[in-house]
Chain A
Amino acid sequence: MNLKRFLIIAILLLAASNANAVLNIDITEGVEGAMPIAVVPFQWSGSTKLADADVSTIVTSDLARSGKFSPLPVKDMLAHPVTPEQIDFKTWRIAGIDNLVIGGVQLQKDGSYQVQFRLFDVLKAQQVMGYSFPADRQSLRYVAHRISDYIIEQLTGLGPAFDSRIAYVTSRRVAKNKIEYRLQVADTDGFDPQTLLTSSQPMMSPVWSPDSLKIAYVSFERGRAEIYVHNIRSGQREKVAAYEGINGSPAWSPDGRQLALTLSKDGNPEIYVLNLQDKKLTRITSHWSIDTEAVWMPDGRSLVFTSSRSGKPQLYQVELAGGRPKRLTYEGDYNANASISPDGKAIAFVHGDDSGFRIAVMYPDTRLLQVLTDGGQDESPEFAPNGSMILYATQINGRGVLAAVSTDGRHKQRLVLSDGEVREPSWASVKGSRN
């Protein structure tokens, strides 16, 4: 690409059976040098194309959203090959396409579907990958996201991210003095939003368990902050913390057996670790200042948290085995709310200065800090499960929306709720999310 491309991908999302507002995704800033790829519209046989499960369109959107690819618009394609024999590699080469995806969706006699795709290296004129997946009406979209994850992994080495789900909190003013809060779960492209909890009181800090089967969150539904663990399959939930004072900032240990959380039951916000099996509580920090927003390092041996012990909020790291917390951030008066990359090498956080609050990323090895966003009220950063981008909450004209930025800051997209405001995103790991 010789010019920075501004892609606007409007994904028409069919509302689910319930009246949930949907998230619409706009890619606001593309990337110079993203890999050119063509995803030829898949051929449907035995059935007409299902508008809400248009597999090749979903794959195209995911590839664009990854920030690593620049998919060729369908209208610019000179041919629509379906079989390998139909591919004229020379034409695609001339069109500047490096990689080509073809495929089809077949309705089976029993009403299920068979989805197959092939990925070709245009320069070498050979297939590099090809799969066939069984699917039903419901799982066609998941298969599409899985195809995206396969292609991205094959061509970039990045792990899977799209065949997963996100959780977030929405708020909507339903009367002058009444706000309705919802805890929702949707596919990573905003499709099929499901409501886990509706409340007239605030909900905060939803976070997926490592096996993607549960969500821990804070709810004020009973007039004070309490932490719940909600099983998304059964809908059952368990109250795990309702101590006097703050019950906040839940964070799952990598093995899913413990929750780090913030309690002020001893008079001051401190970080504790709760064993979810025996409910044993271990106090981790002990300082008269604010200690909160703990997250786990991937090895499960230490926590990164926000502390005002220097007078201003800064990030610190503490070993669970004991020892003094080590300060991680020095640049600026406000560094808070850390998210750790899956490989543990990068920390994203809220970085505040005179010009506002932005998402920054720091590599503790080098202490190099890079500000990635340019909003004024950016918060709640969360790494995608493959570490390639950071989902966060921002404001547009005073309205809360979600946004994502690639870890190099070059690719940006927005997820805007069709009605009301949205915040506090959490991105489930791919493992188990569809079981």
Chain B
Amino acid sequence: MKKIVLVGMLLLLAACTDQAVRDDGAVDAGAGSETGGAQASGINDTAGIEGTALAGKNYRVSYEIGAINDPGNILSQKIIYFDFDSSELQPEYAELVKYHGKYLALNSAAKIRLEGHTDERGSREYNIALADRRAQAVKRLLLFEGVNSKQISIISYGEEKPADFGHDEQAWRLNRRVEIIYE
């Protein structure tokens, strides 16, 4: 069963993601591998990637195996962004998390790692705790959608693995994130 939905304001803030998706659905290479894991994620240089306006883009919603790697599928979007010093899920990202929750509930063999991150501001250990809470907030919503807790692991990196090495709000907003990594 496939359907097409218009994901309204979704990912408005996510100008740059680990994959930059053009409107034609093609994937810009060079922005880091999708399943790169802890080693590669977070230290990719995103400076050269064109910020693609994703608001209003049509995403496919389907939950078959492999949907997570289909750039035209909503499940290809795997980064949840947060406000400063907040672990509250904004509505558009809560919606994205729910799609992943349905996928995980339907594919009980699928496992994810939630990597929590913050921007560089404030103290490092507090940021570890803050990033952990961001990942926990995503996990709670996934559990609510029927995901088994055994499918989810969490690691908090705090400010230690920025996605963007800049020192301004443009970099910071890309660093305040939880990455959903399918294992």
Contact = CB atoms under 8 A, between A and B. Distances in A.
Interface in A257-279: 262, 264, 267-269
B6 interface: no
B43 A379 contact: no
B38 A223 contact: yes
A267 B167 contact: no
B5 interface: no
Contacts of A388: none
Interface stretch (B7-15, B72-80, B151-159): B151-159
Given A202-B157, A224-B155, A377-B120, A292 B44 contact: no
Nearest to B120: A377
A411 B123 CA distance: 23
* Overall SS of chain B's interface: mixed
A337 B85 CA distance: 15
Of A220, A246, A249, chain B has the most CB atoms within 10 Å of the CB of A246
B121 A377 contact: yes
Given A262-B129, A264-B129, A269-B133, A336 B123 contact: yes
Contacts of A178: 43
A204 interface: yes
A312 B45 CA distance: 32
Interface in A293-348: 293, 306, 312-313, 334, 336-337
Contacts of B142: none
Interface in B134-183: 136, 154-158, 160-161, 166-167
B125 A357 contact: no
Contact of B121 (A177, A291, A352): A352
Nearest to A264: B132
Interface in A366-395: 377, 379-380, 395
Given A176-B45, A200-B39, A220-B160, A292 B125 contact: yes
Contact of A357 (B122, B133, B167): B122
B38 A380 contact: no
B154 A306 contact: no
Interface in A154-206: 176-179, 200-202, 204-205
Interface string B33-44: 000001110011
Chain A residues touching B, range: 35 or more
| Interface size class, chain B | 20 to 34
A336 B44 contact: no
A377 B158 CA distance: 15
B83 to A, nearest CB: 13
Given A248-B128, A248-B129, A352 B122 contact: yes
Contacts of B126: 290, 292-293, 306, 313, 336-337
A249 B125 contact: yes
Nearest to A176: B45
Contact of A220 (B40, B122, B157): B157
A177 B38 CA distance: 11
11 contacts: A177-B32, A201-B38, A225-B128, A248-B129, A264-B132, A292-B129, A336-B122, A336-B126, A352-B122, A377-B167, A380-B124
Nearest to B168: A398
A173 to B, nearest CB: 8
Given A293-B125, A424-B124, A177 B133 contact: no
A350 interface: yes
The SS class assigned to the A binding surface is strand
A245 interface: yes
Given A223-B38, A292-B125, A312-B85, 17 more contacts: A177-B32, A200-B39, A201-B38, A204-B124, A204-B158, A246-B129, A248-B128, A268-B136, A292-B128, A293-B123, A306-B123, A336-B126, A337-B124, A350-B123, A352-B122, A357-B121, A398-B166
A398 B167 contact: yes
B130 interface: yes
A6 to B, nearest CB: 27
A14 B128 CA distance: 37
Interface of A: 176-179, 200-202, 204-205, 220, 223-225, 245-246, 248-249, 262, 264, 267-269, 290-293, 306, 312-313, 334, 336-337, 350, 352, 357, 377, 379-380, 395, 398, 423-424
Contacts of A220: 38, 157, 160
B161 A202 contact: yes
A245 B132 contact: yes
Contacts of A337: 123-126
Contacts of A246: 128-129, 132, 156
Given A220-B157, A246-B129, A177 B122 contact: no
A395 B85 CA distance: 21
B14 to A, nearest CB: 21
4 nearest A-B residue pairs (beta carbon) = A337-B123, A202-B160, A269-B129, A290-B129
Contact of B122 (A200, A202, A334, A395): A334
B124 A223 contact: no
A179 B43 contact: yes
A423 B126 CA distance: 16
A313 B85 contact: yes
A224 B39 CA distance: 11
B129 A205 contact: no
B167 A177 contact: no
A267 B44 CA distance: 30
